[in-house]
Amino acid sequence: MEKQLRSSRNVLRRMPAIALVLSVSFAAVSPVAAQSLTDRFKSLFGGKSDAPAEPKPAPAPGQPAEDDLDCPQVTVRSGASTYAVGAGNKPAVGNEIRFQATITKMARECARSSGGITARIGIQGRVIAGPAGAPATVEVPLRIAVVQGGVGEKVIASKAYRTTVEMTDGGSVPFTFVVEDMTYPVPAPAVADSYIFYVGFDPQALSPEPKGRKKK
């Protein structure tokens, strides 16, 4: 009986120490585990890390928190990972290449709003001058689309963008482009996992918008 009492006292004495170790362990892990997509996005692309973070509004009743919101994977559209321009409207091959742009990194985060889901998508790439010589500034055409994948893909939303890259004497210039206005309706739970963000170059984004008909 005395041995059992002694062992029970020893266990009780060790309990605070065990609890202290566990609390220290969780304190060390939680900041990393709680790192938001915004933090990872900023660490990847930089640029806005010095701005104070705005407080996130509380989710509406019955809606999941932002951390629980599924954000589709982002990938480069097949055949749209490079964009090359030739000299004098010639095909961009061999010595006729003026410049070539490529996509190197991507990132995304999603937030729910009253209008649906708003995605923030970042694209990082590089423009390399070709043998024919690149101009002083290069217009890079981009397109971002939200697609429901499957046997027959369905485009949910699609937008064209363009960004200007100033070339240097080195002939190899990185660029970063961040989209903040990609919105789309909240998908049904049954198809949410099939949603994909596609990014890529789209030369049609450089075409002038058609002028509306003039009123009489």
Residues 180 and 197: beta-carbon distance below 8 Å: no
How would you classify the pairing of strands 195-201 and 73-76? parallel
In total, the chain counts a number of residues equal to 216
Which residue do the tokens 């206005």 mark?
A: 181
Confidence of residue 209 (pLDDT cuts 50, 70, 90): low
Quick one: tokens of 179? 């989209």
Tell whether the model's pLDDT for residue 124 goes beyond 50: yes
The pLDDT tens digits for 79-114 are 999 999 999 888 899 999 999 999 999 999 999 988
Tell whether the model's pLDDT for residue 25 goes beyond 70: no
172-184: strand order across its sheet: 82-86, 97-113, 116-129, 172-184
The pLDDT tens digits for 157-185 are 999 999 999 999 889 999 999 999 899 99
Confidence of residue 15 (pLDDT cuts 50, 70, 90): very low
Residue 43 is predicted with a pLDDT of: 53
Q: What is the pTM of this model?
A: 0.66
Which residue do the tokens 């290069």 mark?
A: 138
Chain centroid offset of residue 162 CA: 17
- How many H-runs (helices) and E-runs (strands) does the chain carry? 2, 8
Backbone angles phi, psi at 153, to 5 degrees: -65, 145
Nearest to 103 by CA among 131, 137, 71, 78: 78
Nearest to 98 by CA among 112, 107, 88, 113: 88
